[in-house]
Structure 1
Amino acid sequence: MSSTDSPPSSTISSPEPDSGPYLPPLDILIVGAGFGGIYQLHRFRQLGYTVQIFDSGSDLGGIWYWNAYPGARVDSEVPNYELSLPELYEDWNWEEKYPGREELRRYFEHVERKLGVKKDVRFGTRVVGAKWDEEEHEWVVEARQRTGEKGMEETVFVRARFVVMCTGFAAKPYVPEFKGLDEFKGICYHTSRWPQSGLDLSGKKVGVVGTGASGVQIVQELGSVVEQLTVFQRTPNMALPMRQAKIDESSEMNNKKGRKEMYVQRRTTVGGFAYDRHDRSSSEVTPSDRLSHLEHLWSRGGLRFLHQNFTDLRSNQPLNDEVYAFWRDKVRERVHVADDRYSAWLKEKLAPTLPPHPIGVKRASLEQNYYDMFNLPQVKLVSIAETDTPIVEFTSKGILTRDGVEHEFDAIVLATGFDSLTGGITQVDFVGTDLPDEKRTIREKWKDGVKTYLGMTTAGFPNLFFVYGPQAPTAFCNGPTCGELQGDWIITCITHLSSHNLTRIEPLLSAELEWRQRVLDLSSLGLWSKARSWYMGSNIPGKKIEPLNWAGGVGMYVEICREKAEKGYEGFVLSGKGKEKEKEGVNGTATKT
């Protein structure tokens, strides 16, 4: 076989730490104590593996530990947004259709009462690096563990046969390199690093930089309680109506009958929801029928407006323009300030006449009263697009824009997003097998383009898995659903290895190149590249712009992953420590070498 048909061999042998103690060895180390990490920990414990979670936070929840900012709320309705374990859902009832952070914190407390997760979680422990030991078929993982002293950390090491990254798509916050950011004397936090005890901003002058999901949510929460709220917008958010609702035990959303069927169904639909996409394209209906369908979806609210829209929404530009115009007019109806001139300007900035990008090709945000906030006299919008008044610098008092205005604040909220999909993985210095010197870490390997196999593995890094990451259906699938369907595949894979006395698995270079091409091809069928977004990596300066999500739907993804497993893990090389290696044959079956 050529070098593109097999994984590279390793020369790294028995790496040892320079300093720091070793923790007891593990079969499996999971990084991240959110939905995905908890699910795998529970399942692996049931199977008898020695497994632990390392998490840099101080409690369970993953993103729902860190997202402590006012208004933080999920965008998937329940009961779809939960783990499918009967011991969890049978005696749990949701209180809101779209739970907020506090209710989600109570859910994770319920998880702990039922599963006893924390006894196998090492909190305050941040994984910073790992080296592959080819002789032992293990990872030597380096972590920084908080000590009792404030701000102090100690280095610890652990050996683990397998490492599973469950850090999620938004594990690395992004803050633009604003000039003078450190000069500001007031309160300043990124939304994902909000103080756990909260902040009382009532009666204060507050600036919010960014209008993505967290920006929308925090504006809704603060707009009516602060003295002044200034929202700095670069690109308008095509937010959709949430249609939030309180629910009780009698609600259909808390009905336990049919729950198992729902969990199965969400693995077969395009978006990983309990409902599937619309069954018709726009050309199959009349203009009046199209309008009627859009009105129906709008009244129901939520992500249905995109997921149950016509099948060609994201590939047919004329239809996309029509749907955008529908959205634009709905939003403009809600903007009505007294100053006619400002009102016209505001409508154009919040919902432009011409779409800044196709609707539905960026992660949709759900809103309850976001657009209504701008009707309040204390809330104003500043457009920081390059053609308007971009931010020049931060000052000791606030933010200076290009028009010479210094906006003074008591507090500034940085709702500036994340190095999504890849950042949570590449911020760890994984050193794998014998790749070229300039590509010894995943960060270096992916610098010129992400390469994975099945969106869960990457060549050169054996026994390493990741969930809710790049080249998987991540952006089109909620966390619990994607975490479980990928988690089940990983659990089955590791169980298969153990039952066959195999200790090493690594994807072929040719397999990951083929997978990358499939991701690119699927994306090219749609309008995805016409937007600047984290879907394409274009929100991070210097990051390669490329499709980072599997756009073929959850159902297709699950079926492909299942087929690869049933064919003896086609596209992988499996081997046992100190034994004959098994190499994949051209027909996908294992042959001895």
Structure 2
Amino acid sequence: MTITGPRIETDAIVIGGGFGGCNALYKLRNLGLAVNLIEAGSAFGGVWHWNRYPGARVDSEMPSYQFNIPAVWKGWNWSQRFPGDEELRRYFEHVDNVLSLSKDTFFNTIVTRVQYDSSSKRWTVFTNSGLQATCRYLIAATGSSYKKHYPQFQGLDQFSGRLVHAADYPESLDVKGKRVGIIGNGASGLQIVQELAKEDCELNVFMRTPCFAIPMGQREVSYGESEMMKGYYDGIFDRCYKSVHGFPHNTLFQSALQASPEERKALFDELWARAGYSFLLSNYYDFLLDEKANSIFYDYWVRQVRARMTDSVKMDLVAPLKQHMLVGTKRPSLEQDYYEMIDRPNVKLHDLKKSPITEFNSTGLVTCDGESTKHHALDVVICATGYDAVTGSLLDLGITDKNGDSLKEKWSDGVLTHLGLMVPDIPNFFMVYGPQAPTSLANGPPFIEMEVDWICNVISKMKQEGLESIEPTLEAAEAWRDHVVGVSEHTLYPKTDSWYMGSNIPGKRREPLIYLGGIQRWLQSCTEAVDGWKGFHMA
């Protein structure tokens, strides 16, 4: 059955209603363009619209994790250092009320196909609701964490209990008296464990790789303190824009190997007590570049964690004395009482490296240790198994370039972008928070603002010069990819399988999906590219 709906013609279409999409809609309208936004959910917020699992909260602290739009922040006060999902949804409602974003937005609408017409130099966007939109400029702000990943365990469809993905967590899920299994040990898995461990349930945590988590230092923020901090917002945001990572933290340009053990301990103690990402961002710079420096960080971390636990078996699994991971090469998590919670007697830890899951059946799952199998009876299984991150939601848009080739085909031999913002043979198509940009290793809102500002600058320059379309050259994109790979190889990231490297999804190509050279190097390249349109075809 063909679904028919409204047809609109506009200047620009933005896909996605998180920080990137809202920022793009607001700023493109300020250019005088007619803009519409298409959002799969029923409200703005992106990942914060979908994430409603117990304990869900942001791990970038306030006030740097928000829109730097005075009309928005003057009327908003955060109540916690690290706000939870409910407060973030209220924040996006406030953003909508102030900026009137809903009037130009189609909610509950999923983009199914996007096609470029070279003769008219316009895009046509097709959706599941029948809405059809044509536009000159297309902005994909689909984010890094939208396309859910379910592991393909044998017999998973036979499980008769409750199967839940962390990104689809139901409000009505009652675990009291239940046997609950959690698969996945990233940020969402950690936050869920922290909360469910406190419930009257048997909590089974199936982990393949223990997480690296550091104290969050969560606290309440009074109205008076929140108001007072607004007097520093200009300085805080300016620091974000000028930093390597989009955070306003102090930086230390000293090698861990050049400091004495006494100096290192004093600094580590100070930053550990300060909590949040200070322990990583304000510390010795070389822990992601040198394995010896990394081991110094690990040795400190493991002593701190083990001191908070009493169960030696669990301790050896989550924080073994012998370094089992390179600190920071997987997404670091912030925790409040995670290690105390997994130490509780109602929490059972299962080592999937020793005894992997072999299959599901109607009553639970089976693990195998050599020739020995064990059945784990479960009432609820929670998959905190993350996303087909960074590229997954982009590839699901069904984008075809001017030659009729799909983006999926174009990237079958590796992601190819220029600056992480545009793709060869795909005119007037811009990505926000996409691959081969600093993206997930940067503080989202300030970095997104810089991307959107670049896109607006490009469109303004095009209009001033009477250009109808622009696209990067193949040579420029190949050079950028070589640069992304080259920078990555000078770090420790390629030594670890992670979603930063695309290796969390079976069959997905292993390659650096994030630019590791920092915001300032990326921004310099972006600025130079627009000067004289170096590396672009224009028409």
* TM-score normalised by the chain length of structure 1: 0.88
Q: Which residue number in structure 2 is paired with residue 391 of structure 1?
A: 357
CA contact (8 A) 2:3 2:128 kept: no
Does the residue aligned with 1:131 lie in a helix, a strand or coil?
strand
> What is the aligned counterpart of 1:201 among 146, 170, 175?
175
Does the residue aligned with 1:430 lie in a helix, a strand or coil?
coil
Asked if 1:301 is matched to 2:275, the reply is: yes
Structure-1 separation of matches of 2:81 and 2:393: 29
Structure-2 separation of matches of 1:326 and 1:253: 37
Asked if 1:237 is matched to 2:195, the reply is: no
> What is the aligned counterpart of 2:505 among 540, 552, 572?
540
Structure-2 separation of matches of 1:413 and 1:322: 35
> What is the aligned counterpart of 1:273 among 243, 247, 252?
247
Structure-2 separation of matches of 1:380 and 1:474: 35
Structure 2: unaligned runs, 5 residues or longer: none
Give the aligned residue type for 1:500.
E
Asked if 1:226 is matched to 2:191, the reply is: no
CA contact (8 A) 1:447 1:543 kept: no
Asked if 1:29 is matched to 2:3, the reply is: no
Match runs of 1:362-511 below 5 Å: 362-385=330-353, 388-402=354-368, 403-434=372-403, 440-511=405-476
CA drift of 1:569 comes to 2.8
Q: Deviations over 1:474-518 (max 9, x none)?
A: 121122122111011111111221222211110000000010011
Q: Which residue number in structure 1 is paired with residue 102 of structure 2?
A: 118
CA contact (8 A) 2:470 2:537 kept: yes
Q: Cα 1:253–1:265, aligned 2, differ >3 Å: closer, same or farther?
A: farther
Aligned identity (percent) is 39
Asked if 1:549 is matched to 2:514, the reply is: yes
Q: Cα 1:482–1:198, aligned 2, differ >3 Å: closer, same or farther?
A: farther
Q: Deviations over 1:366-390 (max 9, x none)?
A: 11111111221111101111xx111
> What is the aligned counterpart of 2:134 among 156, 159, 164?
159
CA drift of 1:281 comes to 1.4
Does the residue aligned with 1:125 lie in a helix, a strand or coil?
coil
CA contact (8 A) 2:309 2:343 kept: yes
> What is the aligned counterpart of 2:150 among 175, 188, 192?
175
Give the aligned residue type for 2:395.
T
Match runs of 1:43-58 below 5 Å: 43-58=27-42
CA contact (8 A) 2:193 2:342 kept: no
CA drift of 1:236 comes to 0.5
CA contact (8 A) 2:246 2:442 kept: yes
Structure-2 separation of matches of 1:348 and 1:62: 37
> What is the aligned counterpart of 1:64 among 28, 45, 48?
48
How large is the RMSD of aligned CA atoms in angstroms? 1.6
Asked if 1:289 is matched to 2:263, the reply is: yes
Q: Which residue number in structure 2 is paired with residue 514 of structure 1?
A: 479
Aligned length: 536
CA contact (8 A) 1:210 1:415 kept: yes
Q: Which has the higher helix share?
A: 2
Structure-1 separation of matches of 2:26 and 2:163: 38
Q: Cα 1:23–1:198, aligned 2, differ >3 Å: closer, same or farther?
A: farther
CA contact (8 A) 1:79 1:254 kept: no
- What stretches of structure 1 move > 6 A for 4+ residues in a row? none
Does the residue aligned with 1:139 lie in a helix, a strand or coil?
strand
Does the residue aligned with 2:348 lie in a helix, a strand or coil?
strand
Asked if 1:132 is matched to 2:116, the reply is: yes
Q: Please identify, of 349-358 and 223-232, the stretch whose mean Cα deviation from structure 2 is larger.
A: 349-358
Q: Which residue number in structure 2 is paired with residue 570 of structure 1?
A: 534
Q: Which residue number in structure 2 is paired with residue 12 of structure 1?
A: none
Structure 1: unaligned runs, 5 residues or longer: 1-17, 146-154, 337-342, 576-593
Structure-2 separation of matches of 1:569 and 1:300: 45
CA drift of 1:560 comes to 2.0
Q: Cα 1:358–1:254, aligned 2, differ >3 Å: closer, same or farther?
A: farther
Q: Please identify, of 525-534 and 353-362, the stretch whose mean Cα deviation from structure 2 is larger.
A: 353-362
CA contact (8 A) 2:175 2:201 kept: no
Structure-2 separation of matches of 1:88 and 1:31: 22
CA drift of 1:252 comes to 5.9
Q: Which residue number in structure 2 is paired with residue 356 of structure 1?
A: 324
Structure-1 separation of matches of 2:340 and 2:61: 23
> What is the aligned counterpart of 1:104 among 52, 71, 88?
88
Give the aligned residue type for 1:416.
T
Give the aligned residue type for 1:397.
T
CA contact (8 A) 1:139 1:160 kept: yes
Give the aligned residue type for 2:305.
V
CA drift of 1:22 comes to 5.2
Structure-2 separation of matches of 1:23 and 1:230: 50
Q: Deviations over 1:535-584 (max 9, x none)?
A: 1011111111111111111122222212222x133211121xxxxxxxxx
CA contact (8 A) 2:78 2:226 kept: no
CA drift of 1:353 comes to 2.4
